[in-house]
Amino acid sequence: MGISTSTRVLVKKEASYRCEYCGMAEEWEPYFAYHIEHIIAKQHGGTDDRGNLALACHHCNLIKGPNLTSIDPDSGETTLLFHPRKDSWTEHFQRVVDRIEGRTAVGRTTVFLLQMNALHRVELWRVNA
């Protein structure tokens, strides 16, 4: 069946047209479509329900894929990734000028896996923020 058009519009609007992982604005990247992504992939039992959908930039969505965990670069422990419907962005991340820093294991792990501070992403923040 898939995700309805009205649900897609609602997800984008509620996210203020920004990636719910890195905060990048969709308007900053006019040549790339932002995705309505399944926070928990269907292959892991995720559904098309609103509570499992998030707006993600192409960078975050393509790198995240079906991953639910990764390795915390500080502790080496397997750690859950940030969940946009259950977690608070400001609890797990902070923006320091044009970079994102993880405040918690979940934040560090998500920044690491999604490569949130890759050069091209930092440059987009520098030019647009």
pLDDT in tens, 1-14: 689 999 999 999 99
- Counting residues of the chain whose pLDDT is more than 90, the rounded percentage is 91
Asked if 76 and 105 touch (Cβ cutoff 8 Å), the reply is: no
Euclidean distance between CA atoms 34 and 61, whole angstroms: 9
What's the pTM value of the predicted model, to 2 decimals? 0.94
- Give the mean model confidence (pLDDT) for residues 20-39: 95
Q: Residue 129 has what pLDDT?
A: 76
Euclidean distance between CA atoms 63 and 38, whole angstroms: 13
Q: What is the pLDDT of residues 42-70, one digit of tens each?
A: 999 999 999 999 999 999 999 999 999 99
pLDDT at residue 27 greater than cutoff 80:
yes
Report the chain's mean pLDDT, rounded to a whole number: 95
Q: Residue 77 has what pLDDT?
A: 98
Euclidean distance between CA atoms 115 and 113, whole angstroms: 5
Q: Residue 97 has what pLDDT?
A: 87
Using CA atoms of 74, 21, 58, 65 in order, give the dihedral in degrees to the nearest 10: 60
Say which amino acid occupies 22. Answer: C
- Give the closest residue to 61 by CA, choosing from 6, 125, 11, 123: 11
Q: Residue 1 has what pLDDT?
A: 62
Q: What is the pLDDT of residues 62-98, one digit of tens each?
A: 999 999 999 999 999 999 999 999 999 999 999 998 8
